[in-house]
Chains A and B, each alone.
Chain A
Amino acid sequence: MSTTVYVPGDAAALALGADDVAAAIAINAAKSGLKMRIVRNGSRGLFWLEPLVEVDTGQGRIAYGPVTASDVPGLFAANFAAGGKHRLRLGNIETVPYLANQQRVTMRRVGVIDPRSLEEYLAHGGGKGLALARKLAPAAIVQQVTDSGLRGRGGAAFPAGIKWKTVLGTASAQKYIVCNADEGDSGTFADRMLMEGDPYCLIEGMAIAGLAVGATKGYIYVRSEYPHAVAALNAALDAAGDWLGDFHIEVRKAAGAYVCGEETALLESIEGKRGIVRSKPPLPAISGLFGQPTVINNVITLASVPDILAQGAAFYHDLGVGRSRGTLPFQLAGNIKFGGLIEVPFGCTLRELLYDYGGGSRSGRPLRTVQVGGPLGAYLPESQFDTVLDYEAFAAIGAVLGHGGIVAFDDTVDMAKQARYAMKFCALESCGKCTPCRIGSTRGVEVIDRIRAGAPEQIPLLRDLCDTMTLGSMCAMGSMTPYPVLSALNHFPEDFQ
């Protein structure tokens, strides 16, 4: 009988040597005459343990990690195929507290199944949502999504059901479903993990959206920095056969423009143009891709839909707090000891994620700040670490949850430098359509340079500039760059002296 061994093919695992580990396992298995089936699964998201090798022992999946290629002969000597004792043995992976304490819904199959196998996807509960949706009227599908309380996971947190309802109610011969997989925010990787580890979940969500609004064509716009995700999606689509019926999906590779994560710039880019932000209205739901009604949602939003259909809107709505319903896959990144993916219902605190899961800084120095929500998110000081992870609670302190990325910094960080970087990044990535963003960002870098060189009288000018950018920019790029800048200035004024 052959033993199934899991060696992640996730980009993060690859970056830590997973291919070498898989090759070493294959060679050693051949040498010792053992029959082994090596599955390249996604990552469980416990990155300090990658490459994380799991063995299906029949009594749960026993994990070993972090494994390097040079550890492999030792694993064979320890008979790891039967779950043998070894210094890297972690026991049943499902019982590791970091994972056991989470409540994985959207990400529950990531790291578990073979992402290339539709059969395994269906065997692990996939496909039920689509099967149910096929029996429902479009308005009933939209109602389920509305009732679940699902809000856009890309960062704007707009209710998905309302967006879908608008598209459903707009008559057109051709409508589109567009998945925004331009996950450009530093500190975020949930979209990447899902696309690489459970691509069929996203594909199913898009097909359900198609049924809900009457669209037959979908696009997944994936950033070019994610070649492994592009490959995983294309492989999954090629192997999907007739599972999707007459819904057709095309993967489109982006070309390295951060602003294309803004939905209208993204639509321009798919149309083959420069990714320049459009004026709204009209909303994409009314006039979107190629001028047609378009549902445009983030990866995690669409990937949450299959379970909402399969398990019912109430199941999803029962999780979370306030107006933030369901779960969010938080991504713990930067200078953190145990970085990774933590999917929990809304409502726990930042401190719990940073210390109970994250274990504090990787450097061993005190954490000084975290930036939540990507390059356009605010820097939070330690005094705000007890903020509840909920869209409204974050808005109340002048911050954003965004896509759930949390980047930790220790006490060596220079906040004036981080503020300068925020302006610099905006200058680099601005699409150039509106003046506050295009010119304001460059002036912002200059003003911060003067402040850092010892001109505190320029601080009111910086505040004034941020005000102009916030109120005058066309999209989040310019209007939210002041979040990191002002939060750094307000919470860490000593760094600007």
Chain B
Amino acid sequence: MISTLNAIFGKHLHQSGSLLPILHDIQHELGYVPDEAVPLIAKELNLSRAEVHGVITYYHHFRQTPPAKHIVYVCCAEACQANGSEALAEHAAARLQHGDIAMEPVYCLGLCSIGPAIQIDETTLHARVTPERFDSLIAALGERS
């Protein structure tokens, strides 16, 4: 972890206000921001551990524990609600109760004309997702991994 962090620090320390870019890179590399990283980040940026902890916990995006193998983000904002995202989210939560795929709500993916929308992991998007389609996407995800 130390070498990963040092490489990330080296990439960002020249930037003003580099804490968020550093946290993004750590999460990208390790999947989350481990507690052990906090004092090292604080020392590097001349911040208190409390300040770093405060930032990590303030933003929904940052995780403090290792993530599930896959994360399915289900849009729960108004435009998707208008197209049945609530039923989809309930279905998804029940479907993914056990196993290595986690569901998280997200508030808008910017696909508001073609909801309900979901995102799988970092960049894969799907629109007009019915519960049936959701199941086939999850099944395909299980086969791939």
Question: A residues bordering B, Cβ < 8 Å?
Answer: 11-12, 14-16, 47-48, 50, 183-189, 192, 224-228, 250, 252-258, 269-275, 290, 331-336, 339-340, 362, 371, 375, 405, 407-410, 413, 418, 421, 425, 428-429
Contacts and interface: CB of A to CB of B under 8 A. Distances in A.
B19 interface: yes
Contact of A15 (B20, B55, B125): B125
Contacts of A50: 114
A287 to B, nearest CB: 16
A185 B108 contact: yes
Contacts of B19: 272-273
A429 B105 CA distance: 13
- For chain B, the bracket of interface size reads 35 or more
A408 B114 contact: no
B59 A255 contact: yes
9 smallest beta-carbon distances between A and B, as pairs: A339-B113, A272-B19, A186-B77, A333-B112, A255-B59, A334-B82, A256-B61, A15-B125, A256-B60
B59 A275 contact: yes
B79 A184 contact: no
Contacts of A226: 110
Contacts of B16: 271, 290
A334 B78 contact: yes
A187 B107 contact: no
A149 to B, nearest CB: 28
Interface of A is mostly: mixed
B114 A275 contact: no
Contacts of A418: 78, 81
A272 B20 contact: yes
A225 B21 CA distance: 15
A174 to B, nearest CB: 10
9 contacts: A15-B109, A15-B125, A185-B108, A228-B123, A257-B59, A271-B17, A272-B19, A405-B112, A428-B107
B108 A184 contact: yes
- Residue of B21, B45, B58, B62 contacting most chain A CB atoms (<10 Å): B58
B111 A186 contact: no
A11 B107 contact: no
Given A272-B17, A425-B107, A333 B113 contact: yes
Interface in B13-41: 15-21, 23-24
B54 interface: yes
A408 B111 contact: no
A12 B125 CA distance: 8
Contacts of B80: 186
A16 B82 contact: no
A151 B137 CA distance: 43
Contact of B112 (A16, A48, A186, A413): A186
A339 B51 CA distance: 43
Contact of B107 (A184, A188, A192): A184
B97 to A, nearest CB: 22
A227 B122 contact: yes
Contacts of A186: 77-80, 107-108, 112
B113 A332 contact: yes
B130 interface: no
A335 B54 CA distance: 39
B111 to A, nearest CB: 5
B106 A225 contact: yes
Contacts of B51: 273
B84 to A, nearest CB: 9
Contact of A408 (B82, B108, B125): B82
Contact of B125 (A11, A48, A405): A11
Contacts of B117: 15
Given A252-B20, A418-B78, 17 more contacts: A11-B111, A12-B110, A12-B114, A48-B114, A186-B107, A186-B108, A255-B23, A256-B59, A257-B59, A270-B20, A271-B16, A274-B58, A275-B59, A331-B112, A333-B113, A407-B79, A410-B82
B18 to A, nearest CB: 6
